[in-house]
Amino acid sequence: MYHRNIFDTVKLRVTKLDHNLYDLIWPNVKKLPSEPSLRLALEEDFPLGIMVPDLYAYKVFEEFLNPIIKEYNYIDVNHDFSLRKGVQFFQEGIDEIDLHLDPLGTLVVTGKLECSRNIKDFDLPKSLALSELEIVERIITNILLNAKTARALYPNASEDEIRENGSGDYYTMNEVLEQPSEAKVILASSGLLIPLWNIPESDRLHGSHWPYGRGVFVNNSHNLAIYVNVLDHIRIITCTDAQSSAGNVGLIYTRLSRVMQVIQENLDFVFDEKLGCLSSRPTFLGCGLHFSLTLKCPNLLKEPDKLRSLCTARGLTYNKHTNAAEVFKISNRVTVGVTELQCFEDFTTAVSNILQLEKDMTMSNSLHIAALFLSIFKKRKSASYEINKL
């Protein structure tokens, strides 16, 4: 996709904060850790192998980045980005979506939704001074720990319950990284733990002040976490609650959206008219939503190449990094040029089609087996009739 002249054009450029091309492609060219879990986490967190060190890079290295962003979002590289629509989580007058993709709980194993945002007039956490990290952390935590956020998370709770229980707890990153760590146990057991990259050379990702000025908010139900100043200023992750409700994507979308609406009332985010909301990870541009479902579809997995093509045709990423033979992960790719609501609708429509195909294949197999049994039964009945005749 790239020509030598593009590389030659951008290779000597530096951003306003003195970051160069190597700072962008570092996750792709660094020596990968030998531990399989770290390698997998790196691939999932940075699927393009690119980490944007500061938001000026989207302009300084646009000849390099734009074709990658377009290809990932299925945009013709010869066409310009369309103007980004404003933020829209719900249709007007609606603040809840009820959509369960797998009511019987047989096909969806886990469900997860993530969203990233960065506050206007602040650099990315990597480049913030100590005092700025403190300011951003204080601004965000004041919003998350107030009564309005609690009402958004628990709309059915009484005012007395809101006053008594609040919205959740905030843990500093030191509390998360210490050994042993109560916070880390809560996050890991709830499926809310993200790669923290507390490894050698982590300053390339986090800057020189890591882990100071960072932390994570966890709601009382332990089904939503909001990381503060970890790569992006705000990184929200929420999971479906139980295996029987693992396919209830409407629930996690509504939960995240309500919290985002409260945050948006208090903060302005960095926004580009073509790329939408900007992030340190190019795969979180635009609406910044990333859905991820683990599915159990044994019939479709009998032909993994066809399944991969099926996912690609529907704008999904297929990932088989799991030891379970009948389980795989899918996630959305298109985030640029769509609203949050459109991203949700496109993803759930695509997943519904795949799950219906698995059900149809299961039904076809069941009918085939039933036909075999019927055939055997008829043969036995016929044989018994012939014997009786004798």
- Is the confidence at residue 68, as pLDDT, over 90? yes
E strand intervals along 231-307:
232-239, 271-272, 276-277, 289-296
pLDDT tens per residue across span 263-307: 999 999 999 999 999 999 999 999 999 999 999 999 999 988 999
- Is the confidence at residue 2, as pLDDT, over 70? no
The residues that bridge with 295 in the sheet, in sequence order, are 108, 328
Residue partners of 311: CB distance under 8 A and separation at least 6: 317, 318, 330, 354
Q: Can you tell me the distance from the alpha carbon of 45 to that of 114, in angstroms, rounded to the nearest whole number?
A: 11
pLDDT tens per residue across span 11-54: 899 999 999 999 998 877 766 566 666 677 777 888 888 999 99
201: left (phi over 0), alpha (psi -120 to 50) or beta: left
How much is the average pLDDT of 182-211?
A: 87
Look at residue 390 in the predicted model and tell me its pLDDT.
47
- Is the confidence at residue 231, as pLDDT, over 60? yes
Using DSSP, state whether 135 is helix, strand or coil. Answer: helix
Of the pLDDT bands very low, low, confident and very high (cuts 50, 70, 90), residue 371 is: low
Of the pLDDT bands very low, low, confident and very high (cuts 50, 70, 90), residue 92 is: confident
Share of the chain above pLDDT 70, in %: 87
Look at residue 40 in the predicted model and tell me its pLDDT.
73
How much is the average pLDDT of 84-106?
A: 89
Residue partners of 65: CB distance under 8 A and separation at least 6: 24, 50, 52, 57, 58, 282
Look at residue 385 in the predicted model and tell me its pLDDT.
45
pLDDT tens per residue across span 96-111: 999 999 999 999 999 9
Q: Are 173 and 231 in contact (CB under 8 A)?
A: no
Of the pLDDT bands very low, low, confident and very high (cuts 50, 70, 90), residue 387 is: very low
Calculate the alpha carbon distances from 183 to 230, 231, 255 in Å. Answer: 16, 19, 21
Q: Global pTM?
A: 0.90
pLDDT tens per residue across span 308-357: 999 999 999 998 866 667 899 999 999 999 999 999 999 999 999 999 99
